[in-house]
């Protein structure tokens, strides 16, 4: 029977007692909801969660609302991201609501050259708000906002109408997010954590 198959872009696991791991492969419509569901699952398995790793490596981005919702889960207010363009209507600020779901539990975000767009929004917001430590390598640097203008007959033209900026005003496009701790990923042994995840756990234990 043919049908629409919904595949979650979010998965989680306990890396070791007290430390959780959440992987987001892309930002879909349900990613924000799925992320919170996985986070709740981790907290049920480990009520005294000591640290969390959010893996955004090779995540090309996706829907902005999903990225804002995920960043908002850990921020107690403030700006998540804002856009600037030539027209006043392009200047939009996305703000976080009050309430940190982890109540200050240390967070590490993993990024690399394949992390772009919405991934950079999450990493940039948590870094600027000093809510997470960013580990890995420089992100891709895709901070442009595209708008589709209909031309009729089902055709349209896509134009860049604005750019994303982090809460502190950093320009993402063409620059990307610079990790707090730069670590190149090396080939891992089958069934083991890679060196960036291992370093993340070590950092969380010292936090």
> Catalytic residues, which ones?
117, 128, 142
**Nearest to residue 124, comparing CAs of 50, 111, 104?**
111
| Dihedral of alpha carbons 7, 13, 15, 21, sign | positive
CA distances from 166 to 40, 59, 159 (A): 27, 18, 22
Edge-to-edge strand order for the sheet containing 19-24?
10-16, 19-24, 51-55, 107-111, 133-136, 181-182
- 3-state class of 160 per DSSP? strand
User: To 10 degrees, the CA torsion angle through 66, 67, 70, 74?
Assistant: -150
């Amino acid at each position: 029977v043919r049908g629409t198959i919904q595949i979650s872009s979010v998965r989680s696991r306990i890396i070791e007692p007290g430390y959780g791991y959440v992987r987001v492969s892309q930002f879909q419509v349900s990613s924000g909801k799925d992320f919170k569901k996985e986070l709740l699952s981790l907290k049920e398995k480990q009520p005294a969660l000591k640290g969390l790793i959010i893996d955004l490596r090779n995540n090309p981005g996706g829907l902005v609302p999903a990225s804002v919702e995920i960043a908002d889960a850990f921020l107690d207010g403030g700006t998540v991201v804002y856009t600037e363009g030539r027209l006043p209507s392009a200047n939009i600020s996305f703000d976080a609501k009050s309430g940190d779901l982890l109540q200050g539990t240390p967070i590490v975000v993993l990024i690399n050259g394949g992390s772009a767009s919405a991934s950079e929004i999450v990493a940039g917001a948590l870094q600027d708000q000093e809510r997470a430590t960013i580990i890995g390598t420089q992100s891709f640097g895709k901070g442009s906002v595209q708008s589709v203008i209909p031309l009729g007959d089902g055709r349209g033209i896509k134009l860049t109408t604005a750019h994303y900026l982090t809460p502190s005003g950093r320009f993402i496009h063409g620059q990307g997010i610079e990790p707090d701790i730069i670590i190149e990923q090396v080939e891992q042994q089958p069934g083991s954590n890679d060196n960036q995840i291992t370093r993340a756990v070590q950092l969380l234990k010292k936090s």
